[in-house]
Amino acid sequence: MTEQELAKKQKCLALSNGVEIWIDYEKAEEIQRYLDTIKETKLITLQDTPGTPTINTAFLVGIYTPEQMEDAKRRKNGQTECKWGYWHDRHKECNHGATVQPVRAPAQEPVREERPFDPKRRKAGLALLQKKKEELLGHVTPKA
């Protein structure tokens, strides 16, 4: 057996529900040409595929090569590709000369400005709190 007989070129029909149907490259090209000619939704029956699936063209996301499908799965799993063509996990540094940018920046806590203690500000703050308390409670005396 030759190498070509062992591994035939294939393409993937990706459906909107996540199902992947792998078919021969020639059959995929034939389907692509057919899809280019139709203007409305049709049902396609794949005769040479195990299980003979019928596909509604409205649910067909695209026809992809194995490399395109692998790239899409890596991105879905959070990996990014550096400009040298290597894949890295999310938030990992690239050792190929570039830093991989995180998909989402980590949340940062707000910076609180430190001020020196000021007794006048403290006294004014306590007076303001007392005034608010009196407004809310009125001049109610607590029962003993």
Lowest-confidence pick of 13-17, 27-31, 109-113: 109-113
In terms of Cα–Cα distance, which of 103, 105, 100, 70 is closest to 82?
A: 100
Indicate the pLDDT class of residue 64, thresholds 50, 70 and 90. Answer: very high
In terms of Cα–Cα distance, which of 124, 10, 112 is closest to 68?
A: 10
Q: Would you give the end-to-end CA distance of the chain in angstroms?
A: 100
Give the global pTM.
0.55
- Asked whether the predicted pLDDT for residue 108 surpasses 70, the reply is no
- CA pair distance 136, 141, nearest whole angstrom: 13
The fraction of the chain above a pLDDT of 70, given in percent, is: 78
Please check whether residue 101 is in contact with residue 89, taking contact to mean a CB–CB distance below 8 angstroms. Answer: no
